[in-house]
């Protein structure tokens, strides 16, 4: 552990806790994505069975389940991408700036992302409240369950963004970018080699 990370033990503890939360969110998003694929497979199988055998069979719930699982996996995945700093961003100008100014520009970018995430949280909270009185057309479940995934994903994205913004301000965030830089270096090293 370097002197720089030792100077921010609370930040490191928060980062470790958020890493655990995001690890679980990654696993859950994967399960939701797998459920979506399974629902689509059932839908296609039922259609094929109906088309080729003439058996009157229908599974309208599969499309609804697949849609709702996709929404959940997208918002959880977006939050995890925010934690891993894998969201799309243009950093060409920031990389040309002096390191101190670049750090503050990244903190400002995190602030803008936080504003966007909090806007989604605010709107999703209103949707959850509205969804308590709204039912899905086929499965007849409260839409609040679907909207709650949006709220959860946006809240996790906001928490991840706050963590990164604080890390940039105190100067501890660059220590965790080494892993991403190593991934980039590995990709670049393989571009010059032939299979």
Name 135's bridge partners: 142
Percent of the chain, pLDDT > 70? 85
More confident residue, 28 or 170: 28
Residue 184, in any domain of the structure: no
Reported as a single tens digit per residue, the pLDDT across 135-147 is: 988 888 899 999 9
Residue 190, in any domain of the structure: no
Q: Is 135 helix (H, G, I), strand (E, B) or coil?
A: strand
Residue 127, in any domain of the structure: yes
Grade residue 175 by pLDDT with cuts at 50, 70 and 90.
low
Residue 183, in any domain of the structure: no
Residue 61, in any domain of the structure: yes
**What whole-number distance in Å separates Cα of residue 26 and Cα of residue 76?**
7
- 54 backbone φψ class: left, alpha, beta (φ>0; ψ -120 to 50): left
Q: Which of 166, 167, 148, 175 is nearest to 75 (CA)?
A: 148
Residue 86, in any domain of the structure: yes
**What count of Cα atoms within 13 Å lies in the side-chain half-sphere of residue 114?**
14
Residue 185, in any domain of the structure: no
Reported as a single tens digit per residue, the pLDDT across 56-85 is: 777 888 889 999 999 999 999 999 999 998
Domain ranges, residue 16: 3-177
Number of domains within the chain: 1
Rg (alpha carbons) of the chain, rounded to whole number? 22
Are 85 and 164 within 8 A, CB to CB? yes
Residue 138, in any domain of the structure: yes
Are 66 and 40 within 8 A, CB to CB? yes
């Amino acid at each position: 552990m370097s002197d720089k990370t030792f100077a921010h033990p609370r930040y490191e503890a928060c980062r470790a806790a958020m890493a655990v939360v995001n690890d679980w969110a990654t696993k859950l998003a994967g399960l939701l994505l797998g459920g979506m694929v399974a629902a689509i497979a059932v839908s296609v199988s039922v259609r094929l069975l109906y088309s080729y055998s003439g058996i009157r069979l229908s599974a309208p719930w599969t499309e609804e389940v697949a849609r709702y699982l996709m929404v959940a996996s997208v918002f959880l995945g977006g939050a995890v991408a925010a934690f891993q700093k894998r969201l799309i961003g243009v950093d060409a100008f920031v990389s040309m700036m002096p390191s101190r100014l670049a750090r503050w520009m990244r903190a400002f970018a995190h602030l803008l992302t936080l504003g966007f995430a909090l806007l989604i949280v605010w709107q999703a909270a209103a949707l959850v409240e509205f969804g308590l009185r709204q039912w899905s057309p086929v499965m007849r479940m409260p839409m609040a369950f679907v909207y709650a995934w949006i709220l959860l994903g946006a809240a996790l994205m906001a928490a991840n963004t706050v963590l990164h913004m604080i890390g940039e301000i105190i100067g501890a965030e660059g220590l965790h970018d080494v892993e991403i830089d190593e991934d980039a270096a590995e990709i670049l090293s393989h571009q010059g080699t032939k299979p």
